Amino acid sequence: MTKWYIFVPVLLIVLVIYMFIQAQAFKIRYHAISAKTGLRFLHMTDIHISLLFVSARRIRKAIEKTKPDYILFSGDFLEKPKDLKKLVKWLKDINFKVPAYAVPGNHEHRCFRKHPEFRGIFLKAMQELGIKILDNDVVILKKNKRQSLADETNTTDKSGAIALIGIRDYQSGDIIDNQIISGLKDQYKSVVAFTHSPDIALHIPENSVDILIAGHLHGGQIWLPFNLEYLLLRKDKVSKMGYYKDFATIRNNRVYISRGLGTVLIPFRFLSIPEITVFDV
């Protein structure tokens, strides 16, 4: 009995240390999408700056190593308005030198609802950092060139071009007008969409994008067997279908759900190492 009395607390301490170490680690995951346009995207999501244990220096080195053409952020940068200063410093320290696009996550939208004045403050901070917010917007990208959709419609040269769609978070309550998406696949070599919650995959037109990149679910920050976290504790529909990390096919659209970088509620991860993701499109 005495041995078990000692063993159980020691095991718990080791487990806690292991989960804290996992929250500080991260992987670079590489995926090739078939269009072969020569463009590389680096995707980050769920930074949750108040409980983030991945340094800007390590992310900067990862960007230097992977050499992306564009950086995408899928929201949940912060929990509260007071976190903005820390977030801005972290993003400045990354010192990314390529165009960056972002969509706010459910935590930003919650801040906007509780503190209406914070929306303008947040958007201004992103603009000053060189991060363009796409709010149900489309931009057309080419190697070493980018245009707004309005500009692109005035040119006939769409060879090798990618339509990039930033979709407002599903939990914001404003679902994207599908007319924004419909028909893009017929016009451009590839259609890349990114958003925060993957539940939007249940609402966009079938076979309308080559890849939809999302986050929100943390890949199961603390892994529980039999998908219990999502069946019992979450309302997200896609996760209840068994999709909470990596690739899925939903309504004939390929979807990628990132594990994200940060943590929420507790500073731990278990069997869900943080990630940044590189997509060659």
Nearest C-alpha neighbor of 18 from the set 223, 236, 184: 223
Residues 6+ apart with CB under 8 A from 15: 270
Residues 6+ apart with CB under 8 A from 219: 244, 245, 246, 257, 258, 259, 260, 272, 275
Q: What is the model's pLDDT at position 152?
A: 47
| SS3 of residue 114 by DSSP | helix
Q: What is the model's pLDDT at position 177?
A: 83
Q: What is the model's pLDDT at position 155?
A: 45
Q: Which domain holds residue 131?
A: 2-280
Structure tokens at 278: 């590189």
Q: Say whether pLDDT at 246 is over 60.
A: yes
Q: Are 198 and 257 in contact (CB under 8 A)?
A: yes
- Strand pairing of 211-214 and 253-257? parallel
pTM for the whole structure: 0.91
Q: What CATH number should be reported for the domain holding residue 82?
A: 3.60.21.10
Total domains in the chain come to 1
Q: What is the model's pLDDT at position 153?
A: 46
Percent of the chain with pLDDT over 90: 66
pLDDT in tens, 148-195: 554 544 444 565 789 999 999 988 877 788 888 989 999 999 999 999
**Residue 138 one-letter amino acid:** V
Number of H helices, E strands in the chain: 9, 13
Q: Where are the beta strands (DSSP E) in the chain?
A: 27-32, 40-44, 70-73, 100-102, 131-133, 137-142, 145-148, 162-166, 190-194, 211-214, 246-250, 253-257, 275-280
pLDDT in tens, 119-148: 999 999 999 999 999 999 999 998 766 655
Q: What is the model's pLDDT at position 50?
A: 97
Q: Say whether pLDDT at 249 is over 70.
A: yes
